[in-house]
Amino acid sequence: MFGSPKRSALLSGLIHAAAIVLIVAATRMSPPPAAPQSTVSYVTIDVGRYLPPVRSTGGGGGGAGDLTRASRGRLPRLAARQFTPPAVVVTNLHPVLAIEPTLVAPPDIALPAIPLPNYGDPNGVSGPLSGGRGTNGGIGDGRDGGVGDRRGPGYGNDGDYGGVSGAGGSIHGTITPPILLVKIEPEYSDDARRAKLQGTVLLSIEVDTRGEVHNISVKQSLGLGLDEKAMEAVSRWKFRPGTIDGKPAVIAALVEVNFRLL
């Protein structure tokens, strides 16, 4: 207080300058790397593997002339006659007379309950919607209004012109998928974080009758340790078991684990 005014002004200026430098330095510090996000973006049922082998009851095929294989989806209702074949992508959103798509097969055959809003092939592929490479309506790599790689308004690849068949047998029984109850998020590996690697690991899993995960395999790899991190986390997930005709059953599923650096 009793010093020289010039000296006081100089000390005050130095103190303020030092405070400003500290503030600028603090705000320019890099934040810690964000934790990766992982989600189950798609779960589906591998129908054919868990069906009991029985005599084939027909089949069929169709397609929309697309460039890729038919996408995965649910089957339309079964009926004695077909007025409208199923389509993955609906081009006429306001038809003059809307008729429900059907497949020609005995109506008492119970189709698997595929939890997807769109029509498709239950054994189709994940990815963009596609009606398949076949012709004359329907879905698949076949022709003539059905779903599959053969011919006719039925479903499956064991016959033609109607009926329903699967891989090695007829599809019957209502299948409900497992429901995820406990989800463990995977960690980023050090190598992947240093390389700033991002992407999706696609895993094939089986959920047993106790809701536990087994037989994990990698269908689409990222590398740098992320495959192992995804498998380690998913192996600890807990599900409500899936069912076939109301009874707990082993159900196969595909799980996409997405790794993103925020």
Q: What pLDDT shows up at residue 45?
A: 43
What was the pLDDT predicted at 86? 93
Lowest-confidence pick of 5-14, 30-39, 87-96, 161-170: 30-39
Higher pLDDT: 198 or 58? It is: 198
Q: How would residue 49 be classed by pLDDT, with cut points 50, 70 and 90?
A: very low
Tell me what pLDDT residue 90 has.
81
Same domain, 210 and 132: no
Residue 229's pLDDT is 93
Distance CA 12, CA 8 (A): 6
Same domain, 101 and 207: no
Instruction: Please state the rounded mean pLDDT for residues 139-168.
Output: 82
- pTM, full prediction: 0.45
Query: Is 193 found in the same domain as 121?
Result: no
Quick check: 110 pLDDT over 70? no
pLDDT at 175: 64
Residue 92 has phi, psi (to 5 degrees) of -105, 100
CATH number of the CATH domain containing 254: 3.30.2420.10
What's the whole-number mean pLDDT along residues 169-195?
A: 77
Domain boundary among 171, 192, 221: 171
Residues 67-87 have a mean pLDDT of: 89
Q: Are 167 and 180 members of one domain?
A: no
Q: Which residues contact 106 (CB under 8 A, 6 or more apart)?
A: 57, 78, 163, 164
Q: Which one of 171, 198, 231 terminates a domain?
A: 171
Instruction: Quote the radius of gyration of the chain (alpha carbons, Å).
Output: 28
What would the two tokens of residue 213 be?
């995960």
Least confident of 35-49, 50-64, 68-82, 206-220: 35-49
Whether residue 20 lies inside any domain: the answer is no
Q: pLDDT tier at 58 (50, 70, 90 boundaries)?
A: confident
- Which pLDDT belongs to residue 5? 63
Alpha-carbon distances, residue 110 vs 29, 172, 194 (angstroms)? 62, 5, 51
Same domain, 72 and 110: yes
Residue with tokens 């330095």: 25
- What letters, b where the CB count within 10 A reaches 16 and e where it falls short, cover 102-114? bbbbeeebebbbb
* DSSP-assigned states of every residue in the chain: --S-HHHHHHHHHHHHHHHHHHHHHHHTSPPPPPPP---B-------GGGSPP-----EEE-B---SSPPBB-B--EEESS-SS---SS-S-SS-SS----EEES-TTSPPP----SSB-BTT-BSSS----S-BSBSBSSSBSSSBSBSBEEEEEES-SSB-B--SSS---S-EE--EEEE--PPPPPHHHHHHT--EEEEEEEEE-TTSBEEEEEEEE---TTHHHHHHHHHTT-EEEPPEETTEE--EEEEEEEEE---
Q: Can you give the residue range of the structural domain that contains 146? A: 52-171
Domain count of the chain? 2
Confidence of residue 140 (pLDDT cuts 50, 70, 90): very high
